[in-house]
Structure 1
Amino acid sequence: MSKNFVDTRDSVARLWSLCDVLRDDGTSYHHYVTELTQLLFLKMAKEAGQEEALPKGQRWNDLTARTGVARYDFYQQLLLELGRAPNRRVRAIYSSARTALRQPRHLEQLVDGIDALDWFSAREDGLGNLYEGLLEKNATDIKSGAGQYFTPRPLINTLVALIQPQPGERIQDPAAGTGGFLVAAHEHIKARTRNLQDLGEKEATWQVEQAYTGVELVPETQRLALMNCLLHGIEGPRGGEGAIQLGDSLSGLGAGLPRAHVILTNPPFGTKKGGGRPTREDLTYSTSNKQLVFLQHIYRGLAPGGRAAVVLPDNVLFEDGVGQKVRTELMDLCDLHTLLRLPTGLFYAQGVKTNVLFFTRGQKDTGNTQAVWVYDLRANMPSFGKRTPFTSGTLKPFVDAYGTDPHGKSPREDEGESGRFRRFTREELAKRHDNLDIAWLKDGGQHDPEDMPDPEELSAEIEVELQSALRELQALTKLLTGAPEEDGEEAA
């Protein structure tokens, strides 16, 4: 373990420890990280020598030059001014920003705590690593409830390594969260190009300004994502507000995104807020199931030969009606070559079972999937949680089975009914009505009681199952009564 890693971890722990103090001020965990982002951007701009993006008189030293009530009043005004800053990236980070702190002494504690960090070590290890460590701490602390915004880093890094994004490729995350997939893809490319030095000047500039596209629906989360990307060197279009757009990929915004060579994403679980249907008119099937709409966006948003790795809940694999039609279209348009059944406990905030679908967009629009390889990493596995951490080592057997070809074309061995990796032909899947919820191992695993889901997680899982059952019941009722599908249920 490197000294820099230890120093970064210690700095993250120091920042997070201030949260206990701020809770006394009524500050929630999510607001706490947002508050830290607003302050850390100022401090990191100073440490990185990039304060020219900030207006004069609105920088870190201007804040620390004041104390008490004067500092608190200045900070409130500072947030308003930065939300109107000439620099579009600064303006995007501070758009509608306001402090959740109620007492000047708590601002003092935050500012003093930030100043007391070992900033020399932080610069040596990379300011982005410090910030991403804070996001991870926020997500893995169950009391914060931020797990829905954060995909486990071992999973992200593994998916990126398998998909192998390359310089010059357009890389997209239509549900960007805090930007983890885009950051990991950029780090992957940097590590293989000597920090982009092996690229020409034009290619390197394109990589940091044009290669990455993300969309995030929640303004506070987009703020975190913009900060995360900037600290890792992802600048976004010149003169723009950054690589992560604020908006809804299930609206016209998503339809206008450029075709991507790589899509890596973990779309949010559940139905569209308010029960309405997404407003995309360019997709074949309309449904209130957000995951099915995201899946259509992804496979239709890939350029020919483009590849994707997508985290999706179990209901996408087995849901009838529109669900079956979407899966059939996916296997026609793309080579759905691999499906990974993930163990439980990775997304505690939702309490649902998840999978990763790996596919490549075909050069033609029919018959692209010849077989699907299914890896069961769920049966006879522990429920990952506080006492059983999920690591890259957990995924190593799957990585070895997947092989080195990003399109899933490496030689593979069907391990049979007693193994975890099996091959199912397109004909076999058709007989199952394209139901991909395939399990063959008897699950006799023992789970640590302390890592079992709490009542809120179980309630969330039940809610997802009930929503899926209700959609299936509605489809069956229409079939039995001969009623036409709802207007927009299926478009030509």
Structure 2
Amino acid sequence: MNQNDIVQKLWSLCDVLRDDGINYSDYVTELVLLLFIKMEYENTQSGVLQQHKLPEYARWDVLTKLSGINLLNYYRQTLLKLSVDQDPLIAAIYADAQTRLREPRHLEQLITALDSLDWFSAQKDGLGDLYEGLLEKNANETKSGAGQYFTPRPLIDSIVALLAPQAGETIQDPAAGTAGFLIAADSYIKAQTDDLFDLTDKQQAFQRNRAYLGMELVPGTRRLALMNCLLHGMEGDNEGVVHLGNTLGSAGSHLPKVDIMLSNPPFGTAKGGGGPTRDDLTFDTNNKQLAFLQHIYRHLKDGGRAAVVLPDNVLFEAGVGTDIRRDLMDKCDLHTILRLPTGIFYAQGVKTNVLFFRKVSDKATASTQQVWVYDLRANMPKFGKRTPLTRAHFADFEAAYSSSARIDQGETGRFRAFRRDWIHERGDSLDISWLKDDNAEDAADLPEPAVLAREAIDELNGALDELAAILAELGEEVAE
């Protein structure tokens, strides 16, 4: 069996959960509470984990000896006890965990099915990668809505390869999701260091416990991230690799400065509203992506580097958006923008980019002299289940990015350089395109109404912020 086969078998277990009345959106959460116990056991048996992280009462071989109502009651009590375990990481993983299973036979079915999987084959690629595959499968199922925190793995792998993180560097994702960026960075470093064996014991401990830090607002998503990290051998501090908190609130202001930032901040506006509440950012804005961008370049060390996925509106929003882009280009060398294809994220019509930059100094000015733009959007396939995005789609960009002598390919090419003074003359907008997109006129490829409405709201919010600033300068109060 290959990994895809095993992932498909794991996903098929959701039929058992459905038979017990568990909602589609809760499939993975319910499944991984049990799956993690199995994977922790398998990783310990194979030596991937040097010792059990779970206490004796919560180990797989204990569950397999029980049946019927005794099994279901024992499992319920186990989840409750794990949520208050003395190990803060285990307690965080199982915080508020409870099973919605009501039929003992369904729990027995799940345990039997997990036991019957070919775990020897699964170990070849690593159980962490198998777990990643399950999360990706969940994200690709549109009904689950999980795609909102799942960045396509080919994109993550391409970004990480270009930033080339090194052992000893600190790496942060302030919108961690299921920790895809952090795990990819760890995998990259392990590949460069013979799975860390080239490092000293002290250096290995740093990589496991201090190199990576993420923050995630949603408790359920953070649970998936903590499990994901632990299965990949990343333990973090007492709170785990990914901390629970709001980066755009006071918790974010206490995050440390780091060598590398890798992030895909959430798109759009959270249901129920609630904008940034931090008071340490230079520019006040209700646009969450602009607030995240400020955090990212402010929390980079001098010389640090970043890659952040952002929607188009961040590149052209007026008012405070212009101020933030100008501040970014002063403090950092914004050397590259990658215009991403549409259809690779959960909102099919959303248009996104990756901004690559290097921090110069908080006191620096005019750090950006020119910006290179690679257009991977115009005349690209319509990505989806029939045409999946792969790492090969980024090959030409990676070659152009990494070239020691970058070449401007002109008006018919995908890679071009634009001077900072030219960008300033056009109002510091970074929404730069030049290729005629033959697909753009296809009505089927137009953004969904919700995406268009969101972009309109972002534009209006930017205009309102600008008007409020003018009134403030005139000494006029702004009505709430």
TM-score, normalised to structure 2, is: 0.93
Q: Distance in 2 between matches of 1:20 and 1:210?
A: 40
Counterpart amino acid of residue 464 in structure 2: Q
Contact 1:91 1:241 in 2 (8 A): no
Counterpart amino acid of residue 41 in structure 2: K
Q: Distance in 2 between matches of 1:426 and 1:311?
A: 21
Specify the alignment match of 2:38 in structure 1: 43
Q: Would you say how many aligned residue pairs link Structure 1 and Structure 2?
A: 473
Q: Distance in 2 between matches of 1:127 and 1:20?
A: 22
How much does 1:83 deviate?
0.4
Equivalent runs, 1:11-410 vs 2, <5 Å: 11-49=6-44, 52-237=52-237, 240-271=238-269, 274-349=272-347, 351-363=349-361, 364-403=363-402, 410=404
Q: Distance in 1 between matches of 2:84 and 2:260?
A: 34
Contact 2:342 2:348 in 1 (8 A): no
Structure 2 residue aligned with 1:461, among 424, 427, 451? 451
Q: Distance in 2 between matches of 1:235 and 1:169?
A: 16
SS in 2 for 1:345: coil
Q: Distance in 2 between matches of 1:284 and 1:138?
A: 38
Q: Distance in 2 between matches of 1:229 and 1:58?
A: 19
SS in 2 for 1:100: coil
Contact 1:8 1:122 in 2 (8 A): yes
SS in 1 for 2:2: helix
Q: Distance in 1 between matches of 2:442 and 2:143?
A: 20
Which shows bigger deviation, 414-423 or 122-131?
122-131
Tell me: CA distance 1:113–1:341, structure 2 relative to 1, closer, same or farther (3 Å): same
Counterpart amino acid of residue 163 in structure 1: L
Counterpart amino acid of residue 341 in structure 2: P
Tell me: CA distance 1:164–1:64, structure 2 relative to 1, closer, same or farther (3 Å): same
Q: Distance in 1 between matches of 2:286 and 2:440?
A: 36
How much does 1:122 deviate?
1.8
SS in 1 for 2:178: coil
Counterpart amino acid of residue 157 in structure 1: D
**What RMSD over aligned residues (CA atoms) do the two structures have, in Å?**
2.3
SS in 2 for 1:48: helix
Tell me: CA distance 1:266–1:192, structure 2 relative to 1, closer, same or farther (3 Å): same
Q: Distance in 2 between matches of 1:448 and 1:59?
A: 55
Counterpart amino acid of residue 378 in structure 2: A
Q: Distance in 1 between matches of 2:477 and 2:397?
A: 41
Q: Distance in 2 between matches of 1:221 and 1:429?
A: 39
How much does 1:446 deviate?
7.8
How much does 1:415 deviate?
1.1
Q: Percent sequence identity over matched residues? A: 58
Unpaired segments ≥5 residues, structure 1: 1-5, 405-409
Contact 2:371 2:418 in 1 (8 A): yes
Unpaired segments ≥5 residues, structure 2: none
Equivalent runs, 1:435-450 vs 2, <5 Å: 435-445=429-439
Q: Distance in 2 between matches of 1:53 and 1:475?
A: 50
Contact 2:321 2:462 in 1 (8 A): no
Tell me: CA distance 1:106–1:444, structure 2 relative to 1, closer, same or farther (3 Å): same
Q: Distance in 2 between matches of 1:447 and 1:386?
A: 22
SS in 2 for 1:57: helix
Structure 2 residue aligned with 1:431, among 402, 419, 425? 425
Cα deviation per residue 1:282-318 (whole Å; 9 max; x = unaligned)? Answer: 1101111100000000000000000000000000000
Cα deviation per residue 1:437-469 (whole Å; 9 max; x = unaligned)? Answer: 1111111038999x858xxx7133123212113
SS in 1 for 2:58: coil
How much does 1:140 deviate?
1.6
How much does 1:120 deviate?
1.7
Contact 2:217 2:244 in 1 (8 A): yes
Cα deviation per residue 1:241-291 (whole Å; 9 max; x = unaligned)? Answer: 311001111112111111110000000012355433312121101111100
Cα deviation per residue 1:382-415 (whole Å; 9 max; x = unaligned)? Answer: 22111111111111111111015xxxxx311111
Structure 2 residue aligned with 1:471, among 446, 461, 468? 461
Contact 1:311 1:354 in 2 (8 A): yes
Q: Distance in 1 between matches of 2:11 and 2:240?
A: 27
Tell me: CA distance 1:485–1:223, structure 2 relative to 1, closer, same or farther (3 Å): farther
How much does 1:66 deviate?
1.6
Cα deviation per residue 1:312-357 (whole Å; 9 max; x = unaligned)? Answer: 0000000001100000000000000000000000112464110000
SS in 2 for 1:124: helix
